[in-house]
Structure 1
Amino acid sequence: MIGGMAELLPLDPDQLLTTTRSVRKRLDLERPVPLEVVRESLEVALQAPSGSNKQGWHWIVLTDPAKRKAVADLYARSFDAYRNSAGYAANHPAGDAAREATQKRVASSAEYLAEVMAEVPVLIIGAIETGTEELPAGNQAGLWGSLLPAAWSLQLALRARGLGSAWTSLHLRYEKEVAELLGVPGTVKQGVLLPVAYTKGTDFKPAPRQPLDEVLHVDTW
């Protein structure tokens, strides 16, 4: 911390955008995370867009070990169910050697995160007020588009300050149980869970991605 503000890494905008990764095995589980740094990062995140400027987001920051463990236990149960599902196999296909190797690394790191989630110093749940007990029918892009950009901005702000996070949503299998545990009102729906810690090193690189021309459509499909 410098003058009450966290020191920022020397990253230009493109570097920040292309090297903010889902960090799992390189999360430092031993180093405490000051709440002031989380608050500072959230102040940045609150500049993200929201539909009609409603700013209906809520951020549940968990530092209490017992509550972190309770959420982590539910996450682990959900991960076990996912790992044994057809969807998991579909996301980790055999075939292309390079992609298969990448997916194996992702699977290994995801399994690791499920094992150590309770030890991650801070868990942040991003949620949004819906005004109703039920999610709206039909396309929900407007709803989640008013929360998820801010969650990504939070990840960027954390990365700039030397912290890592991983985008997760598997806990939503037990959303009601998590809500009861944390006293979240029924009209507030959870959208993302971010485990947050300082990282072991800051030398992250852009990840392999499919060529742009395979997903780019100009004027027509």
Structure 2
Amino acid sequence: MTVEFPHLDLSADEVLTTTRSVRKRLDLDRPVPLEVVTDALEVALQAPSGSNLQGWHWIVLTDPEPKKIVAEYYRKSYTAYAAAGAAVRQAKPPKDADTAEKVASSATYLAEVMEQVPVLVIGAIHVPGGQLPEGNQAGLWGSLLPAAWSFALALRERGLGSAWTSLHLEYEREVAEALGVPPSVRQGVLLPVAYTKGTDFKLAKRAPLDTVLHVNKW
């Protein structure tokens, strides 16, 4: 029997433009049924992949121990990342210092509470031999990342949020060993998943299109 989950009354454009990186508004206390995660992953499986190989794998963590392991490696990587970022901002203050500070504070919060997030989902992909290709890897990751983003969009429509992260990949091998991931499967993204505190997310501030648009030539 298929379980039906509530959906927000959002248009496709609203889902696409209001799916934000959610950190401080993740509800750490509200349980997330595994079924709602797999329901959103069913949507993700409709994404394209190179030669239709569908080589993706989804590692869904709900138990405290594996979440703690991933969180500890994530924090270890984040500590170095945050220190480097702070040094860069001090040497060259960003144009929008307030936004930069808010993003940094939000990211620090997520690192601190990562294991408390109800569900952690790692998107990964089968790589023959486990060796990443040299040079441009767009062909490989282009067969995983669209599905991972579709998953994030499907979560948004169901009233849940996530934040696209990859800092744990600094310790990809250690995480793989702890979770029993075979060497032929390489990780590409970590998505902490929870219901959100409120569902009213707005468009983000972005540079105007004409500053990045190139028609027919650069």
| Same fold flag (TM > 0.5) | yes
Percent of aligned positions that are identical: 68
- Quote the Cα distance in structure 1 between the aligned partners of 2:157 and 2:143: 23
| CA displacement, residues 166-187 of structure 1 (integer Å, 9 cap, x when unaligned) | 0000000000000000000101
Q: Counterparts in 2 of 1:78-89, with a 5 A limit? A: 78-85=77-84, 89=87
Confirm or deny that 1:70 pairs with 2:46: no
Shift of 1:101: 1.1
Corresponding position of 1:162: 159
5+ residue gaps, structure 1, are none
Alignment counterpart, residue 187 of structure 1, candidates 184, 192, 197: 184
Shift of 1:105: 0.6
Shift of 1:133: 2.5
Shift of 1:18: 0.3
| CA displacement, residues 74-133 of structure 1 (integer Å, 9 cap, x when unaligned) | 100000011122x5644785142xx22111111000000000001000000000001113
Corresponding position of 1:9: 8
Q: Give the residue type in structure 2 aligned to 1:17.
A: L
Q: Is the contact between residue 94 and residue 100 of structure 2 (CA under 8 Å) also seen in structure 1?
A: no
Shift of 1:66: 0.8
Q: Counterparts in 2 of 1:15-94, with a 5 A limit? A: 15-85=14-84, 89-90=87-88, 93-94=92-93
| CA displacement, residues 33-52 of structure 1 (integer Å, 9 cap, x when unaligned) | 00000010000000000000
- Runs (4 or more) in structure 1 with deviation over 6 Å come to none
Q: Give the residue type in structure 1 aligned to 2:28.
A: L
After TM superposition, the score normalised by the length of structure 1 is 0.95
5+ residue gaps, structure 2, are none
After TM superposition, the score normalised by the length of structure 2 is 0.96
Number of residues paired by the alignment? 216
Corresponding position of 2:144: 147
> Cα RMSD (Å) of the superposition?
1.3
Aligned partner of residue 192 in structure 2, secondary structure: strand
Corresponding position of 2:198: 201
| CA displacement, residues 19-40 of structure 1 (integer Å, 9 cap, x when unaligned) | 0000000000000000000010
Aligned partner of residue 135 in structure 1, secondary structure: coil
Evaluate the alpha carbon distance shift between residue 204 and residue 128 of structure 1 in structure 2; reply closer, same or farther with a 3 A threshold. Answer: same
